[in-house]
Amino acid sequence: METLSLRRRRLPGVILVAVGGELDVLTAGRFGAFAGRARRPGQHLVLDLTATTFLSCHGLRALLEVGDDVRHDGGVTRLAALLPGPLRLVRLLHADALVPVHATVEDALSAAAARPPAPGHEPIAQ
């Protein structure tokens, strides 16, 4: 069964995406497309994984691919508030060496706010 919920919230310099349910082979593509539409050049991305109950290798790959895209555009992707199962996979595969992991969403947002956009990738005033 495909169960995934995605919500986006724009904050100054940061996009917060809440991911709920299962991020696996069936839902990774939907997550990647959603995150691709949500992000903006020069902005950081915080993925709130508080409600992510299952993370497969396919789901982790999708998280890392989004992280690569954000990094290419001058931002940083941060994972926040992982449950024990998903956190175990992230650590087991050393993905935490590629994408910063934070205990809480607030910690991730604070870290993102402390790092300005990369030169040449400043957000365009709207």
Write down the pLDDT at residue 19: 98
Rounded average pLDDT per 10-residue block, the chain, 126 residues: 88 95 97 95 96 98 97 95 97 96 97 72 40
Domain residue limits, the chain: 4-114
The class level of CATH for 4-114 reads alpha beta
Write down the pLDDT at residue 121: 45
Write down the pLDDT at residue 62: 98
Q: Which residues contact 100 (CB under 8 A, 6 or more apart)?
A: 76, 77, 78, 79, 108, 111
- Are the CB atoms for 55 and 19 separated by under 8 Å? no
Q: Give the sign of the dihedral formed by CA 71, CA 108, CA 111, CA 11.
A: positive
Write down the pLDDT at residue 28: 97
> Which residues, listed in sequence order, are joined to residue 79 by a DSSP beta bridge?
47, 101
